[in-house]
Amino acid sequence: MTNVAVIYYSSTGNIHKMAEAAAAEAEKAGAEVRLRKVAELAPRSAVESNPAWAAHTAATEDVPVATPDDLVWADAVLLGTPTRFGLPSAQLKQFLDSVGGVWAQGKLANKVVSSFTSTNNAHGGQESTILALNNTFYHWGAIIVPPGFTDPVQFEKANGNPYGASSVTHNQPGNVHPDNLAAVAYQARRATEIATALKAGLSAA
């Protein structure tokens, strides 16, 4: 069986919604899936100052927090983060910064990886965020699998990002267009299928 880890950070629920769609599709594709959030770094006062942030934090208390072992376990990893000034969130970046030990042991090489994001507006840094994440994956020796323009869902009105699925939230919590949910589901299925084929090929080599 192919192991897929969907690891994300979400403050008000948009990326969480996309992560759930990705996890569900990977399961449909036959994978064993771990859905994991990364640890919150913001002070409680900041979270509680935003009702939507506080509500989402409370609603997802039961989602396990990601550890480096989740990356070691996985054959494919999908990472989701909102954009922060055109870059990944500090929360997701801190998690990635914590995996040097397993990276040094070569345990992150040949992982299939793919990323998704959300922004407040259409030109808020989706592509630069995903490209920034890719810099980490090059160091791992991972295999980056973007959605590309390989499925008609990418040509729907709300899509068109070959780097990775992205959502424009317009500052509304949990506001993910159905096209974007379909896009991230397709992306998860594609990553799972390629990881399955890679795993079979390496086993047969």
CA-closest candidate to residue 113, choices 70, 67, 156: 70
Q: Is the pLDDT of residue 8 over 90?
A: yes
- Give CA–CA dist 19/11, Å, rounded: 13
Partners of residue 34 on adjacent β-strands: 5
What is the pLDDT, as a whole number, of residue 27? 97
The band of 6, judged by pLDDT with boundaries at 50, 70 and 90, is: very high
Note the pLDDT of residue 136: 96
pLDDT digit string (tens) for 28-45? Answer: 999 999 999 999 999 999
Report the alpha-carbon distance of residue 127 to residue 94 in Å, rounded. Answer: 20
Residue 124 to residues 11, 101, 119, 152, 174, Cα–Cα distance (Å): 17, 33, 5, 24, 17
pLDDT at 13 over 90: yes
Mean pLDDT across the stretch 123-138?
94
Measure the CA–CA gap between 81 and 126, rounded to whole angstroms.
10
- How high is the pLDDT of residue 154? 84
Beta bridge partners of 6: 35, 78
Cβ atoms 135, 154 nearer than 8 A: no
How many independent structural domains does the chain possess? 1
Closest CA to 185 of 32, 43, 29: 29
Tell me the pLDDT tens digit for each residue of 86-130: 999 999 999 999 999 999 999 999 999 999 999 988 888 899 999
Lowest mean pLDDT among 22-31, 75-84, 166-175: 166-175
The model's pLDDT over 145-204, given as tens digits with 9 standing for 90+, comes to: 999 999 888 887 677 789 999 998 888 887 898 999 999 999 999 999 999 999 999 888
> Which residue type sits at 110?
N
Nearest to 14 by CA among 198, 180, 197, 204: 180
Q: Where in 38-175 does DSSP place strands (E)?
A: 76-84, 87-88, 112-119, 143-144, 166-168
Domain containing 163: what range? Answer: 3-204
Cα–Cα nearest to 77, from 92, 60, 94, 62? 92
Top pLDDT among 123 and 48 is at 48
Q: Cβ(136)–Cβ(96) under 8 Å?
A: yes
Query: For position 156, which CATH number holds?
Result: 3.40.50.360
**Strand extents, DSSP E, the chain:** 3-8, 32-37, 76-84, 87-88, 112-119, 143-144, 166-168
Q: Is 65 helix (H, G, I), strand (E, B) or coil?
A: strand
